[in-house]
């Protein structure tokens, strides 16, 4: 491409990108007045599924027009303040803008003297500082999300446990290795089990730790650990959640850390959803013990609202990750005299996207105080929603909220108890289809349960009122 063509291409980009930014701003402005979510029109779904591979180039102007017409209006719904599904916030506007600039730079964030590398190191330190986790250079990196960060952390745990018994898992794999055991509370996110399976420990390595009303029976846990040791297995890992996905419950992290210390287990805390809850002074004390973890998973793309993807793995000793992942073939040697290795030495990714710019922008645009206010407001709204649920005779609270997730159930008048589980299972999709509020379901304590996760900075009391009235009306409809 000649210089002239290149100049024309950049000018075409400038024009189309301006139109795109205007279209995106219009889209964001219109979101609250639109239905939260709607099924795609059948014709559009077919068209998107059957798109033919284009033979010829399209203009950028046409691509922008198509995206604004056919794609943006048909989103998941998490931009709307009455969206309470899963754990999906709206993106921060600062993060959206930063994503454009990051894509324009398009680095591979591995090593070298370029801004993206240094920014990731600072952003990881900021994340650690936000939640009060000790940070040492090399002790963390951004990942695609909480699930990927969990694999990174548990790979560190596996390596350390096996090297302590003289087994080199990187050289020998798991053949001939002793059986490792992981102690995992019942409500832990499925990504923990998946990581254990992927790392070759198998889900049979997992011992469920019951937390009765959030309390740990440390003596029972230690007895289970002793029994496993006596059987020749190697107890390796203890997991806690700083905010469970089902009900936002904070595990007794300090008590878990005590057991991990006494038994010399790797203590892993899953803070993907809830660790930023520690910014709320009203509940900060509940997170005591999180700072004692060997590894901590955070998800800036959850409560902070960094546009997906942005997860973070933090470890107390960076060398645990370096031992698990570092492999430097000659064609990838970089920064060889640096005491801290390249990012590729601490995780499984080689080419890595520039996740730090949108994370930096999202945090900087609000500051610690702004983020703390947002977190505290979400927790307050969750308590308000719980009160509304308790006041409503056709609803019942499944668990008192500790953070910004409220678990509850519908029990419409006249509905026989035998039908309640089926009704609560069907309810979320029926509510979603009405378009005024969006929530999702789960199973808690063996019962079908509704859960509302509050993460949108613009959610207010009136959205809670809409949610409650939509759930009650839909439940009556289903019961009738």
Ligand X SMILES: Cc1ncc(COP(=O)(O)O)c(C=O)c1O
CB of 135 within 8 A of CB of 369? no
Among 89, 146, 235, 341, binds ligand X (CB under 6 A): 146
Rounded to whole angstroms, the Cα distance separating 273 from 346 reads 23
Residue 169 or 306: which CB sits closer to ligand X?
A: 306
431 phi-psi bin (left φ>0, alpha ψ -120 to 50, beta other): alpha
Q: H or E element: which one contains 160?
A: helix 146-164
Rounded to whole angstroms, the Cα distance separating 352 from 310 reads 12
Q: What angle do CA 18, 20, 22 make, to 5 degrees?
A: 70
* Binding flag, residue 95, ligand X (CB under 6 A): no
Residue 146 or 353: which CB sits closer to ligand X?
A: 146
Q: How far is the CB of 348 from ligand X (least distance, A)?
A: 14
Residue 300 or 412: which CB sits closer to ligand X?
A: 300
Among 142, 245, 410, 415, binds ligand X (CB under 6 A): 245
How many amino acids of this chain bind ligand X (CB under 6 A)? Answer: 13
CB of 245 within 8 A of CB of 283? no
Q: How far is the CB of 185 from ligand X (least distance, A)?
A: 11
Q: How far is the CB of 328 from ligand X (least distance, A)?
A: 28
* Binding flag, residue 145, ligand X (CB under 6 A): yes
HSE of 254, CA atoms in CB hemisphere, 13 A: 5
Q: How far is the CB of 417 from ligand X (least distance, A)?
A: 30
The two structure tokens encoding residue 456: 């949108």
Residue 169 or 287: which CB sits closer to ligand X?
A: 287
Site for ligand X in 342-381 (CB under 6 A): none
Rounded to whole angstroms, the Cα distance separating 358 from 349 reads 19
Among 77, 139, 305, 311, binds ligand X (CB under 6 A): 311
Window 264-283: contact mask with ligand X (x via CB under 6 A) = ------x-xx----------
Rounded to whole angstroms, the Cα distance separating 398 from 447 reads 9
CB of 131 within 8 A of CB of 290? yes
Rounded to whole angstroms, the Cα distance separating 323 from 156 reads 8
The two structure tokens encoding residue 155: 């790979």
Strand blocks (E) in 348-477: 395-399, 405-410, 440-444, 447-453
Residue 111 or 298: which CB sits closer to ligand X?
A: 298
Window 101-140: contact mask with ligand X (x via CB under 6 A) = ----------------------------------------
* Binding flag, residue 299, ligand X (CB under 6 A): yes
Name the DSSP letter for residue 215.
E
* Binding flag, residue 318, ligand X (CB under 6 A): no
Site for ligand X in 168-227 (CB under 6 A): 189, 191
Residue 217 or 309: which CB sits closer to ligand X?
A: 309
* Binding flag, residue 470, ligand X (CB under 6 A): no
Residue 276 or 343: which CB sits closer to ligand X?
A: 276
* 170 C-beta neighbours (distance < 10 Å), count: 14
Per CB under 6 A, residues contacting ligand X are 87, 145-147, 189, 191, 241, 245, 270, 272-273, 299, 311
């Amino acid at each position: 491409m000649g210089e002239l063509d290149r100049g024309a291409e950049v000018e075409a980009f400038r024009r189309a990108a301006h139109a795109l930014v205007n279209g995106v701003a219009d889209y964001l402005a219109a979101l609250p007045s639109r239905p939260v979510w709607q099924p795609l029109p059948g014709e559009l779904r077919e068209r998107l599924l059957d798109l033919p591979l284009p033979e010829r180039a399209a203009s950028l102007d046409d691509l922008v027009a198509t995206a604004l017409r056919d794609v943006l209006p048909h989103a998941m719904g998490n931009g709307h303040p009455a969206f309470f599904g899963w754990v999906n916030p709206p993106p921060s506007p600062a993060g959206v803008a930063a994503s454009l600039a990051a894509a324009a730079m398009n680095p591979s964030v591995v090593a070298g003297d370029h801004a993206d590398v240094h920014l990731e190191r600072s952003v990881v330190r900021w994340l650690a500082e936000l939640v009060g986790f000790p940070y040492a250079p090399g002790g963390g990196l951004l990942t695609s999300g909480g699930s990927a960060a969990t694999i990174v952390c548990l790979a560190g745990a596996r390596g350390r446990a096996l090297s302590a018994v003289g087994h080199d898992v990187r050289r020998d794999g798991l053949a001939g290795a002793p059986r490792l055991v992981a102690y995992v509370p019942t409500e832990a996110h499925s990504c923990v089990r998946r990581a254990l399976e992927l790392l070759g420990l198998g889900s049979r390595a997992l011992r469920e730790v019951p937390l009765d009303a959030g309390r740990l029976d440390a003596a029972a846990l230690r007895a289970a650990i002793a029994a496993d040791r006596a059987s020749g297995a190697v107890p390796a890992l203890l997991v806690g959640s700083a905010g469970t996905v089902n009900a936002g419950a904070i595990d007794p992290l300090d008590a878990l850390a005590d057991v991990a210390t006494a038994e010399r287990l790797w203590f892993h805390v899953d803070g993907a959803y809830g660790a930023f809850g520690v910014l709320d002074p009203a509940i900060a004390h509940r997170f005591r013990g999180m700072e004692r973890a060997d590894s901590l998973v955070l998800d800036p793309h959850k409560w902070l609202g960094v546009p997906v993807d942005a997860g973070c793995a933090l470890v107390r000793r960076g060398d645990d990750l370096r031992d698990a992942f570092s492999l430097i073939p000659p064609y990838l040697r970089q920064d060889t005299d640096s005491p801290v290795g390249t990012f590729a030495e601490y995780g499984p990714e080689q080419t890595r996207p520039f996740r730090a710019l949108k994370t930096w922008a999202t945090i900087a645009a609000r500051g610690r105080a702004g983020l703390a206010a947002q977190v505290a407001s979400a927790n307050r709204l969750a308590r308000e929603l719980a009160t509304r649920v308790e006041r409503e005779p056709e609803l019942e609270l499944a668990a008192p909220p500790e953070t910004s997730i409220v678990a509850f159930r519908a029990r419409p008048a006249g509905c026989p108890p035998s039908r309640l589980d089926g009704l609560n299972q069907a309810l979320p999709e029926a509510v979603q289809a009405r378009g005024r509020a969006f929530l999702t379901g789960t199973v808690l304590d063996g019962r079908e349960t509704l859960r509302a996760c509050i993460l949108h900075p613009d959610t207010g009391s009136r959205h809670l009122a809409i949610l409650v009235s939509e759930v009650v009306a839909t439940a009556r409809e289903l019961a009738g």
